[in-house]
Amino acid sequence: MGSDEAVRAEYRRIYSAAARMYWLQQGEVGAHPAWSQERKDSWLALGRVLREHAAPAVELAGPSDPTRHLIGRRTPDDRPVSLGRAAHDWQERLDTSPTVRYPRLDPDPDSTGEDAYSFEPFAPGSCVLVPSTWLSSAAASVGELSRRLAPGRPPHTVGPEAAHLSQTFHALAEQLRHALPGIEPRPHPATAEWIAGIPTPHIGSTDPADLDELRAAAHDAAHSTPTKEQAVAAKDSSSSIEVIEAGEVLRGVLAGSEKEPWRERQEGVDPARSLLVSAEHTFESWDARLRTKALEREPSPRVPAEAENPVRPTESLRMKAIARESALVLAEVLDENAARLHPGRRTEMVGFDAYPLSRFLGAFTTHLLSL
């Protein structure tokens, strides 16, 4: 291995481990009172280096690269949508949309009972009504995309086992569009001509100065992160066990004693053949679950055509409500999943430019599950 290749390989190892540690930290970095100023400053400095080293050039034209852009859609003037721009646009649409929730119509053991029965009828066209199992399955699929776009994730190519799941994601998106008046159906996005067939790696410098800067920032952040023993002794719950273990991995990578910079949540998870939450959720098993719980046995999503009172849940059916704009965003996210989980789809190492979108998708998942 030549000197340039050696620098690039070491850079990518450190970048992957450091980005994963940063991504796993929930909430605003440094906001917890248990964080010292030194720890906060070192983490913010690491975030800056990861972000600046991953900053891609602004593309005014050309194909959409799965590593740096959305691939399920383009801008109205046919330009690539960066991952950061997608997060901003989707969040802005949700922020300007009212939140609609289906009221509880059964006793709530955690309340006095009064608020469990107060509600107003749904206005015509105000929302999309879906079964709770449909919504929870769709929300889990949004969470999957959040993990797939985690900064530092190594390159992978989706296997042939994803073919049916890709179609199912698109079918769920089309169910939402079909329910909404005035929304046209869309073709499956996976074979869109704007998607780059071969993505361009954009993480991995051969400049020793870049490597030194990254190594120094990663060192300071990793060594400011407590070990398990230190966290227990200090009663520090500001970082999850996943973050603490990721800090240990990063310290090992920096010391040269850790070979693998990336860890999945569970042993056996293969991004080419399974969802990232569990090795048991293969593409085939998740497709079967979605079809059973969302496409075949449950009522399809629909919009109230006239004022409609909520109905009490039964043992087999509980309804949920999604605001119109939230439903449209959800359809676009499901189509993004459909495009990415297409057999043969290649993604290079994910950079920190994906951080805002991964964070948005995680928050959107939480929002959907709270409805």
Residue range 324-333, pLDDT digits in tens = 999 999 999 9
What pLDDT is recorded for position 58? Answer: 63
Ranges under pLDDT 70 in the chain: 1-2, 56-59, 106-118
pTM for this predicted structure? 0.93
Q: Is the distance from CB of 65 to CB of 196 less than 8 angstroms?
A: yes
Segment 238-261, tens digit of pLDDT: 889 999 999 999 999 999 998 899
Residue 106 has what pLDDT? 63
pLDDT of residue 190: 95
3 state SS of 321: strand
Output the pLDDT for position 57. 65
**Torsion angles phi and psi, residue 168, rounded to 5:** -70, -40
For residue 246, what pLDDT is reported? Answer: 96
In our burial notation (b when 16+ CB lie closer than 10 A, e otherwise), range 285-321 reads ebbebbbebbbeebeebebbeeebebeeeeeeebbbb
Please tell me the distance from the alpha carbon of residue 282 to that of residue 76, in angstroms, as a whole number. 35
Phi, psi of 28 (to 5 degrees): -70, 130
